[in-house]
Structure 1
Amino acid sequence: MRFTDGLWLKRAGVDFRGGVEVAEILNKDEKTGIDYLVACRHIANRGDSMDGPLLTFNVSSPADDIIKVRVDHFKGVRQKSPNFELFPDSKPPAPKVTINSSTSSDTLSLQSGSLKASINLKEYSYGIRFTSESDEKKQKGEKPLFLCSTEPKSTAVIDVPPSYVINQMSESSCLETGTDALLGSVEKGNSSKIRFMLNELSLTVGETIYGLGERFTPLVKNGGSHSIWNQDGGTSSQQAYKNIPFYLSSRGYGIFVNHTEEVDFEVGAEKCSKVGISVRGEGLEYYVINGGGSLKRTLELYCLLTGRPALPPSWTFGLYMSTSFTTSYDEKTVSGFLEGMKERECYTRVLHLDCYWMKAYDWCSFQFDDKAFPDPASYLRTVKDKYNVKVCVWINPYISQRAHLFKEGVEKGYFIKRANGDVWQWDLWQPGMAYVDFTNPDACKWYAKQLEGLMDIGVDTFKTDFGERIPHKGGVTYFDGSDPRLASSYYTQIFNDLVFTTLKNRLGEHGAAVFARSATAGGQRFPVHWGGDCESTYEAMAESLRGGLSLTSSGFAFWSHDIGGFEGLPPAAVFKRWVAFGLFSSHSRLHGSKSFRVPWLYDDDGKDEASKVLAKMVKAKLRLMPYLFAQAIKSHETGVPMMRSMVIDFPEDPTCQYLDKQYMLGDNVLVAPVFSDDTANFYLPEGKWTCFWTNAVTTGPRWIKKENYPFTAIPVFVKENSVLLLGPDSVDVPDYEYSKVGLEVRAYQIPSDAEVVVQVPSGKGPEWAGKVVVKGGKAEGQGVKVDSVADMQEKEGL
């Protein structure tokens, strides 16, 4: 939300009152923090203390290297639900906190671990300066690392007329008009205004901002206005399915805004040197997270705060083959696809049945269409036994009034309601559909029972679609009294949590995985997520990657996308390029809308090339599983995403700050999808990089452009001093016993006197089966079978 007209003036109708000086220190305690009052004008005498707001601040720390800042205008406002669950995995140890005043009494500081917040107490000069000051740096005599700061008037209470807000907010935003109550509104005479709280944090020269969820606009968020509000808008606009109120700075810190409602970020947009953060209401709370200059460490701390990613089962890393959306299919069609994939060695591990496994108008009835699948239990047993696949079915949190469950849901109060007690319904998506009210414990049990019934007949996992366009206007009521404005984007959290937990209860701690489209902060705890509805073009392929890298910069470790694109029919070249990109993503799914994505439909050159490309890329991923699953375990344990933007691994390389068409897949592998029929363009950072396919070595930093790049390859490079463990060429599933099959050990540019130890996962949860020790061109397996060792010491060249 923008409130200014240029740098000095306020926009018409804006009543802006920003904090300028500390009026009183209320409390100083290392456990509860520092409480103080900030006046919105200079207090020269007693009279100045009247007829104006005071902002009440609390600066405290819940964990080392994390500082919370809470500012309130009116503290008597009732706190409403829902709220983000913080530290959901375990309560962290008590932080090491110290509170100090400067000798001149101009500064009061709170330090947590290496993160220090210094409060300016001078007249006219209120602000908070955040710095990284570790004991190690102090001992070396290094200066504190400046992170960000607020300045006088950077924190403000603001009142604006509703018409002003309407002009700035999107049509699908949380604004309520007409006779609806305006949360945070204030009466001034006969006119009603809407109240906002604003906080501005500084941006330094060259600082770049990432994250804010899965955004398909530029990877670097500087210069943009970003509304945190889940919407179903495809991948080609500012709307996004997964909006996360967290951003990551290239300076190695992060900001998490602890509000489930709509949060607006102006990132170097309203003011070039500021990130403006605004929310409606009387209070604003944010957390400064200090990685000490490390983006990886910042993400670890953010996931400590909001939750670690669960570890998906190893079988989920195999190829998902979907029946697609509006296409017509039945048992014969599905079996034909599975047979065709098997014949072409395009090994499929998950069969996904999209919407029409149920009857039209019947979503979600959780019942198979008896015409297409007369005996679903028998059919699922057959395909699972014959083709060794897991079965995934499409669901969403909506119940059509034609579905047999609708009447029961109405009678028992399982749906979101209007203020008059009627069920909230509309015709968008499904005729007369209702929304399951997941704040009602009995509704959750009822919904879980439907899922359990499907698991009883052979369903292994669920695609949890939708969950974005949730009603919040027109007198919406929830069972537990949740505020509809706060609950709208949070709805996806309780939906995916319920489905994921239902699966986990049946399959065990590390047996659950969903395939989700929408999310909010903390949603990384319920993987996997995919990128939503994209078109079938190179441009959409690039949009999807930008969205994925933005999401993984927001704490999500695992991500997928619709190979070939969702809307439209991809040209054969686009399909083949997307296949390579898709199989070198953490998770891989063939999926479309009105057309199927089996490869032989794209073999228009008569060479069966699309099938060959898919077979080769599937095989490469299956062989790489000992490496990939080890990286997945690390992501689960730390929160550092498995698939991540280059800047996270190379923060000192200024070129990597802006790269949005390539990424690191784990610690050791660089992937650069090709967005053209013939030309590959990519960048290799400093060091020696070995081509995964040819073993040729290239020294960076350098840009590379290759013409006539083959469809049967994708630029994949391995970092020097790396060891990759590959399974045998005979594997046809991702979930094999990595320690027992006989591994090929590839050592990349390792000095002869160096020793590298690589852990080998069991493939069953986060346990390790053994390790491989590489030294002097030899490899020794400890608890692991090693078949061959390859020392990748090749001459320079592409």
Structure 2
Amino acid sequence: MKFTDGYWLMRPGCTARYATEVADVRADDHRMTLYAPVKHVTRRGDTLNSPLLTVECWSPAEGVIGVRTTHHAGSVRRGPEFALPGAGADTGKVRRDGAVLELVSGELTLRVDTEQPWRLEFTAGGRMLTSAGERGTGFVTDAEGRHHMLAQLALGVGELVYGLGERFTPFVKNGQTVDIWQADGGTSSEQAYKNVPFHLTNRGYGLFVNHPGKVSYEVGSESVGQVQFSVEDQSLEYFVVHGPTPKQILERYTALTGRPALPPAWALGLWLTTSFTTDYDEATVGRFIDGMAEHGIPLSVFHFDCFWMRAYQWSDFAWDPETFPDPEGMLARLRQRGLRVCAWINPYIAQKSPLFEEGMREGYLVRRADGSVWQWDLWQPGMALVDFTNPAARDWYTGKLRRLLAQGVDCFKTDFGERVPTDVVWHDGSAPERMHNYYTHLYNQAVFDLLREERGEGEAMLFARSATAGGQQYPVHWGGDCGSHFNAMAESLRGGLSLGLSGFGFWSHDIGGFEGTPTPTVFKRWVQFGLLSSHSRLHGSKSYRVPWHYGEEAVEVTRAFTLLKHRLAPYLQRAAQQAHTTGVPVMRAMVLEFPDDPGAAALDRQYMLGDDLLVAPVFTDDGTVEYYVPEGTWTNILTGVQVTGPRWVREHHGFHTLPLLARPDSVIPFAADDQHPVSAWADGVELRVHAFADGAEHTLVIPRADGPGETARFQLRRDGDRLRVTTNSPHSWQLRLGGPDGTLHTSPAGTLEADLPYPR
């Protein structure tokens, strides 16, 4: 929110008070509290009739420093609050040298000189990260009498800001105004489904604002050298998270707010849906599944979108008897075909639903101050919201889902959760403004916990649209309602990369776009992109997304890239394990892997898929694509063509290829089975070695498919014209040098060491 009118003036009705100096300090071994007047104090009389800010500083985890600034401490603290599972005992150490106080946590230091004008300096390794200076700590009252706490942290020359959730605006956030406020706004505006008050920069730190309600950011957009953030409250708390690398920042941030669960490996395969407002019944579903099989396209998951339930009754969790008269039998038949099933749900109860009367009677629906149930007609006529702050309502809601799981449903698409009113009363007394963003967390947590209880650890997963900080614990998330054109495809990727830099490990999108119908060209290009994402789902609104509706070549492309993803499954599962254990996403913005390469800083039309694969989707009708190659020799795993960087490359690709490049000195495992996402990955695995330099070493892990851990490990080292391979795998394996047509060596089962030729 902007408060100033240029540099010198305030906006009409706004009055600002900023910390000017340190008047007093209270410190122990681990914490320090600074008392900051908002004017320079020269005599005793200056202490009267003027605010005094309380600034508490501590460290909840190594490399993380918290700052809480409070004006009036007597305000009632109503929830909700972000859970911080990684916050432990004070880990910082306070030290004092004359007038200088320092709070040290790992390599991160907060420094305050109590004899100088107000300034909080955050340094690491002797290098300044950021600081809160002259206007960096304070509060503003606006023309309507609202009280806003604010902070400003300095941006260095060339410092770039990323993250703040799944945002579809420009990837680098400098110059933008961003409101952390959940909205159902599609993928082509400043609104976002997934709002996360966390950003990181290319200067070695991230910053998390610990406030679940609205946080208003001015990212170099009010004071161009500052990131300002404000909340309508009497207190503002934030954490500076040191890296120094972007990956280390994400590791520390997700350790604090929660790491992603590991989704089941079967979810890596292709998903197909009924689409939204299309006509469908069991015969339609069967026709789609038969069609995929007839065209040789393996299918892993079938999703039933909204109209599996009766119109006007969402959600009542009952199959429409006219279109699905035998749901148990149908689900059993789908399971016999090797398919998993996903069902669409939302947290709203329409008035026509039999559950509305029950929920109203039992107090399970969100109410207004006068005791009436909050309702409106947007989306579903007379719909109400389930009050997840009421444990009984949570149990009631998940009890309906439990019956669907018993019928044979495997997972749920948890749609919506963004349009949450603020003129209501919550069962647990939560503040409505703070619940607006946080509601989605309770919703997705309730469903995920149910799945974990019913299906077991490692089998639970959602297909969720809305989220906020901490929501990464309940994957998978998808990008919401996008158009069906190249611009929408690009904006979707931009949002997914921003979400990945906000701590979310897994992300998907509607292949072909949601609104409208894609051209065959767009469909084929989106299929390539979608099947090179962490999770892959064909979905639309008013038109089906079965490939044969877009031509025979669309069928061929869908088949080829589905089979490719199956072969890459061990590689993708390893990346998924990394997301689960470190918080580093499967789909990574280039800046995450190459933070020291200025050429990678602003790239948002390409990404790294795991550690070693660069993907540059094609966004043009004629197949032209421009992408950036970092340093080294990169190998296209589809064509074998090598490209040496750092440089920009322009290429033309038909529909069966795109820039899909293996990193120099990388080894990519290809499963022998291309028909299933889950197979005996280590048995017959093909190890593709790419541009291995003399002396290069690489350790390759073949992961487990049923959870964390590994089934085999290969260690490779090149010495001149020899490549030495050591493994613990009892299975047969293959090794291929270069691209798909490179030299192939096959080792029989039980070969634990090999010394193979490597041509110079």
Instruction: State the TM-score, normalized to the length of structure 1.
Output: 0.91
Farther off after superposition, 350-359 or 144-153: 144-153
Instruction: Tell me the secondary structure at the aligned position of residue 23 of structure 2.
Output: strand
Residue aligning to 1:357? 308
1:494 and 1:784 map into 2 onto residues whose CA distance is 46
Which of 271, 295, 298 lines up with 1:344 in the alignment? Answer: 295
Residue aligning to 2:109? 116
1:246 and 1:98 map into 2 onto residues whose CA distance is 25
Instruction: Tell me the secondary structure at the aligned position of residue 769 of structure 1.
Output: strand
Letter matched to residue 6 of structure 2: G
For structure 2, the residue ranges without an aligned partner over 5 or more in a row are: 743-760
Tell me, yes or no, if structure 1 residue 23 matches structure 2 residue 23.
Answer: yes
Judged with a 3 Å threshold, the aligned counterparts in structure 2 of structure 1 residues 22 and 92 are, in CA distance, closer, same or farther, namely: closer
Which of 663, 669, 679 lines up with 1:719 in the alignment? Answer: 663
2:43 and 2:597 map into 1 onto residues whose CA distance is 53
Deviations 1:447-478 (A, max 9, x none): 111111001110000000000000112xx111
2:355 and 2:630 map into 1 onto residues whose CA distance is 56
Superposed counterparts of 1:327-476, under 5 Å: 327-386=278-337, 388-473=338-423, 476=424
Letter matched to residue 783 of structure 1: S
Deviation at 1:343, TM superposition (A): 1.2
1:370 and 1:561 map into 2 onto residues whose CA distance is 30
Superposed counterparts of 1:455-534, under 5 Å: 455-473=405-423, 476-534=424-482
Deviation at 1:51, TM superposition (A): 1.0
Which of 100, 107, 122 lines up with 2:95 in the alignment? Answer: 100
Residue aligning to 1:647? 591
1:253 and 1:529 map into 2 onto residues whose CA distance is 25
Deviation at 1:594, TM superposition (A): 0.2
Superposed counterparts of 1:140-289, under 5 Å: 144-162=126-144, 193-289=145-241
Instruction: Tell me the secondary structure at the aligned position of residue 594 of structure 1.
Output: coil
Deviations 1:499-526 (A, max 9, x none): 0010000111111000000000000000
Whether the aligned pair in 1 keeps the contact of 2:613 and 2:662 (CA below 8 Å) is yes
Instruction: Tell me the secondary structure at the aligned position of residue 384 of structure 2.
Output: strand
Deviation at 1:752, TM superposition (A): 4.9
2:605 and 2:81 map into 1 onto residues whose CA distance is 35
Deviation at 1:295, TM superposition (A): 0.5
Deviation at 1:488, TM superposition (A): 0.8
1:95 and 1:442 map into 2 onto residues whose CA distance is 36
Tell me, yes or no, if structure 1 residue 131 matches structure 2 residue 136.
Answer: no
Which of 77, 92, 97 lines up with 2:75 in the alignment? Answer: 77
1:425 and 1:97 map into 2 onto residues whose CA distance is 48
Tell me, yes or no, if structure 1 residue 790 matches structure 2 residue 740.
Answer: no
2:534 and 2:290 map into 1 onto residues whose CA distance is 25
Calculate the aligned-residue CA RMSD, in Å. Answer: 1.4
2:634 and 2:581 map into 1 onto residues whose CA distance is 27
Deviations 1:699-721 (A, max 9, x none): 100111113x1011121000011
Tell me, yes or no, if structure 1 residue 689 matches structure 2 residue 651.
Answer: no
Whether the aligned pair in 2 keeps the contact of 1:780 and 1:786 (CA below 8 Å) is no
1:324 and 1:779 map into 2 onto residues whose CA distance is 48
Whether the aligned pair in 2 keeps the contact of 1:64 and 1:95 (CA below 8 Å) is no
Residue aligning to 1:582? 530
Deviations 1:326-376 (A, max 9, x none): 001000001100111111122110000000000100100100000100010
Letter matched to residue 670 of structure 2: L
2:28 and 2:6 map into 1 onto residues whose CA distance is 40
Judged with a 3 Å threshold, the aligned counterparts in structure 2 of structure 1 residues 195 and 111 are, in CA distance, closer, same or farther, namely: same
2:739 and 2:433 map into 1 onto residues whose CA distance is 59
Instruction: Tell me the secondary structure at the aligned position of residue 519 of structure 1.
Output: coil
Residue aligning to 2:9? 9
Letter matched to residue 67 of structure 2: V
Q: Between Structure 1 and Structure 2, how many residues are aligned?
A: 737
Instruction: Tell me the secondary structure at the aligned position of residue 71 of structure 1.
Output: strand
Farther off after superposition, 783-792 or 528-537: 783-792
Letter matched to residue 529 of structure 1: H
Judged with a 3 Å threshold, the aligned counterparts in structure 2 of structure 1 residues 118 and 560 are, in CA distance, closer, same or farther, namely: same
Instruction: Tell me the secondary structure at the aligned position of residue 335 of structure 2.
Output: helix
Instruction: Tell me the secondary structure at the aligned position of residue 609 of structure 1.
Output: helix
Which of 572, 594, 599 lines up with 2:547 in the alignment? Answer: 599
Deviation at 1:95, TM superposition (A): 5.7
Judged with a 3 Å threshold, the aligned counterparts in structure 2 of structure 1 residues 412 and 793 are, in CA distance, closer, same or farther, namely: closer
Residue aligning to 1:621? 565
Tell me, yes or no, if structure 1 residue 45 matches structure 2 residue 27.
Answer: no
Deviation at 1:780, TM superposition (A): 4.2
Residue aligning to 1:543? 491
Instruction: Tell me the secondary structure at the aligned position of residue 499 of structure 2.
Output: helix
Residue aligning to 1:757? 699
Whether the aligned pair in 1 keeps the contact of 2:688 and 2:739 (CA below 8 Å) is no
Whether the aligned pair in 2 keeps the contact of 1:697 and 1:795 (CA below 8 Å) is no
1:101 and 1:526 map into 2 onto residues whose CA distance is 43
Letter matched to residue 652 of structure 1: D
1:371 and 1:509 map into 2 onto residues whose CA distance is 36
Which of 20, 30, 33 lines up with 1:35 in the alignment? Answer: 33
1:695 and 1:210 map into 2 onto residues whose CA distance is 34
Which of 712, 723, 738 lines up with 1:777 in the alignment? Answer: 723
Farther off after superposition, 278-287 or 694-703: 694-703
Residue aligning to 2:579? 635
Deviation at 1:738, TM superposition (A): 1.5
Deviations 1:751-770 (A, max 9, x none): 35444221111201112112
> What fraction of aligned residue pairs are identical, expressed as a percent?
48
Whether the aligned pair in 2 keeps the contact of 1:346 and 1:618 (CA below 8 Å) is yes
1:624 and 1:638 map into 2 onto residues whose CA distance is 21
Deviations 1:165-197 (A, max 9, x none): xxxxxxxxxxxxxxxxxxxxxxxxxxxx11101
Instruction: Tell me the secondary structure at the aligned position of residue 239 of structure 1.
Output: coil
Deviation at 1:98, TM superposition (A): 2.3
Letter matched to residue 543 of structure 1: E
Deviations 1:287-309 (A, max 9, x none): 000002x0000000000110001
Deviations 1:629-669 (A, max 9, x none): 01110110001111110001111111111101000111111
1:153 and 1:684 map into 2 onto residues whose CA distance is 41
Letter matched to residue 698 of structure 1: V
1:747 and 1:17 map into 2 onto residues whose CA distance is 61
Deviation at 1:252, TM superposition (A): 1.7
Instruction: Tell me the secondary structure at the aligned position of residue 560 of structure 2.
Output: helix
1:340 and 1:122 map into 2 onto residues whose CA distance is 76
2:356 and 2:729 map into 1 onto residues whose CA distance is 55
Deviation at 1:731, TM superposition (A): 2.8
For structure 1, the residue ranges without an aligned partner over 5 or more in a row are: 134-143, 163-192
2:475 and 2:730 map into 1 onto residues whose CA distance is 29
Letter matched to residue 745 of structure 1: L
Deviation at 1:784, TM superposition (A): 5.0
Deviations 1:253-299 (A, max 9, x none): 1000000000001001001100011000111000000002x000000
Tell me, yes or no, if structure 1 residue 766 matches structure 2 residue 718.
Answer: no
Letter matched to residue 495 of structure 2: G
Tell me, yes or no, if structure 1 residue 60 matches structure 2 residue 52.
Answer: no
Instruction: Tell me the secondary structure at the aligned position of residue 179 of structure 2.
Output: strand
Judged with a 3 Å threshold, the aligned counterparts in structure 2 of structure 1 residues 599 and 214 are, in CA distance, closer, same or farther, namely: same
Deviation at 1:774, TM superposition (A): 2.4
Deviations 1:115-138 (A, max 9, x none): 000013134x101000013xxxxx
Whether the aligned pair in 1 keeps the contact of 2:639 and 2:739 (CA below 8 Å) is no
Deviations 1:366-413 (A, max 9, x none): 000001000100011112212x11000000000111111111111100
Deviation at 1:778, TM superposition (A): 5.0
